[in-house]
C-alpha cells in the first residue's frame, strides 16, 4: 500500500469511524503527510517503516525549531496512523510503540475571576441591537462551561429550563446534559424575546439555532472570538482571553468551590479524567497564591 492511499484511508477512518472534528482531521492529515514527505525522501513505504526511521524524522522536526508541544502533536498523529495500519493488518508491529514523546511542561490555562466576568458583561451596551445577545453569550459560555463550537450550535430545542439543564452536542457528536443557573436562564429568555420579535428574517436553516447574527444566520466561531476580544478590551482586561477562557474559569471555580472532579468531567464532556485533572493544579496554584498573599509568615 502506497503512502497516499494509506493516508486517504486513515483520514476517512478518523472522520467517519472516530467522528473527529474537521479541525482535528486537518491537523492529523497535515502531520502524517509531513512524515510521508520524509519517508518518500528515503524511499520507504508505510509497511516497511522502522522505529529508528521515525526517531530520525522526529530529530529533524526538533532541529527545525518547532516547540515541544507541536512535536508531541506530530508524534500523536503518526502514532494514530500506525495504529490504524495495525487494525488493517498492513503491519504486524507498531513502530511507534516504544518511542517516547518530548517532555513538555503542563501549561495552566488563563482564567478569569468572577469580578472580571461581571466587568466584561457590564461593558456590553444593552441599548445596541446585539447587546443582549452578546451578554447572553458570555453568561452561557461561563455558566455552562461550553466550547465555542457548542455555543454556536446550541438549539432552542436543547433548552430544558424547567428541568434546569441544557443539552449539548460535544466532540465526537457525544451528547451531555449540563446544569444551567437562574442567571443564565434569565439572560437567554431576555435574548430570545428580542430574537423572536426583531429578527423577522431568520434563515430556515437557522430557525432552531439560539445565537444569530443580524441577518438571521448562525454565528461563526470567529465572530464569537471577535466579540469576546472586543468586550474584554472594553472591560480593561489585560489577560489574553478567548471564548475558551470562560470554560476554564467555569471548571476552575467549580473545583475551588469543592466540586467533585468526576462531576466536573461530566459537565465539561471530557473523555478522560486526566484532562479534567489540570483544574486541580489550578486550584493548588490558587491556594498557594492565597497563602503567600495573606499568611503572616509568608514574607519571612
Q: Which residues are designated catalytic?
A: 147, 171, 244, 247, 270, 279
Distances (CA, A) of 295 to 51, 286, 288: 53, 14, 10
Question: What stretches of the chain show up as alpha helix (H) in DSSP?
Answer: 3-16, 22-41, 51-63, 68-87, 114-122, 131-144, 148-152, 182-198, 221-234, 243-256, 261-268, 273-276, 278-294
473523555: which residue's cell?
Answer: 271
CA–CA distance, 249 with 289 (Å, rounded to integer): 17
| Three cell numbers, residue 288 | 498557594
Q: CA 44, 47, 48, 49 torsion: positive or negative?
A: positive
524511499: which residue's cell?
Answer: 43
CA–CA distance, 265 with 275 (Å, rounded to integer): 8
Chain-centroid distance, C-alpha 283: 20
Judged by DSSP in three states, 169 sits in strand
Chain-centroid distance, C-alpha 48: 36
Distances (CA, A) of 57 to 34, 221, 288: 10, 35, 41
CA–CA distance, 208 with 158 (Å, rounded to integer): 9
Size (the chain), residues = 300
The answer to whether 231 and 126 have CB atoms below 8 angstroms apart is: no
Amino acid at each position: 500500500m502506497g503512502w497516499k492511499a494509506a493516508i486517504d484511508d486513515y483520514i476517512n477512518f478518523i472522520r467517519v469511524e472516530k467522528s473527529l472534528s474537521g479541525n482535528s482531521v486537518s491537523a492529523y492529515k497535515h502531520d502524517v503527510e509531513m512524515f510521508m514527505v520524509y519517508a518518500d525522501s528515503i524511499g520507504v513505504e508505510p509497511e516497511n517503516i522502522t522505529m529508528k526511521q521515525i526517531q530520525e524524522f522526529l530529530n529533524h522536526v526538533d532541529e527545525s525549531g518547532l516547540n515541544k508541544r507541536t512535536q508531541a502533536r506530530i508524534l500523536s498523529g503518526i502514532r494514530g496512523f500506525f495504529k490504524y495500519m495495525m487494525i488493517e493488518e498492513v503491519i504486524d508491529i507498531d513502530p511507534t510503540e516504544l518511542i517516547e514523546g518530548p517532555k513538555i511542561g503542563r501549561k495552566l490555562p488563563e482564567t478569569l475571576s468572577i469580578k472580571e466576568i461581571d466587568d466584561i458583561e457590564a461593558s456590553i451596551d444593552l441599548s445596541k441591537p446585539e447587546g443582549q445577545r452578546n451578554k447572553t453569550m458570555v453568561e452561557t459560555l461561563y455558566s455552562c462551561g461550553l466550547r465555542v463550537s457548542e455555543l454556536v450550535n446550541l438549539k432552542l430545542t436543547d433548552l430544558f429550563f424547567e428541568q434546569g439543564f441544557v443539552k449539548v452536542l460535544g466532540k465526537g457528536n457525544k451528547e451531555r446534559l449540563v446544569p444551567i443557573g437562574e442567571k443564565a436562564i434569565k439572560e437567554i429568555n431576555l435574548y430570545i424575546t428580542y430574537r423572536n420579535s426583531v429578527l423577522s428574517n431568520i434563515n430556515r436553516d437557522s430557525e432552531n439555532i439560539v445565537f444569530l447574527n443580524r441577518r438571521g444566520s448562525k454565528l461563526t466561531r470567529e465572530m464569537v472570538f471577535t466579540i469576546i476580544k472586543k468586550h474584554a478590551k472594553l472591560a480593561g482586561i489585560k489577560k489574553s482571553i478567548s471564548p475558551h477562557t470562560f470554560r476554564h474559569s467555569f471548571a476552575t471555580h467549580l473545583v475551588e468551590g469543592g466540586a467533585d472532579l468526576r462531576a466536573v468531567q461530566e459537565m465539561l464532556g471530557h473523555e478522560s479524567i486526566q484532562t479534567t485533572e489540570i483544574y486541580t493544579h489550578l486550584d493548588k496554584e490558587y491556594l498557594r497564591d492565597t497563602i503567600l498573599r495573606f499568611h503572616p509568615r509568608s514574607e519571612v
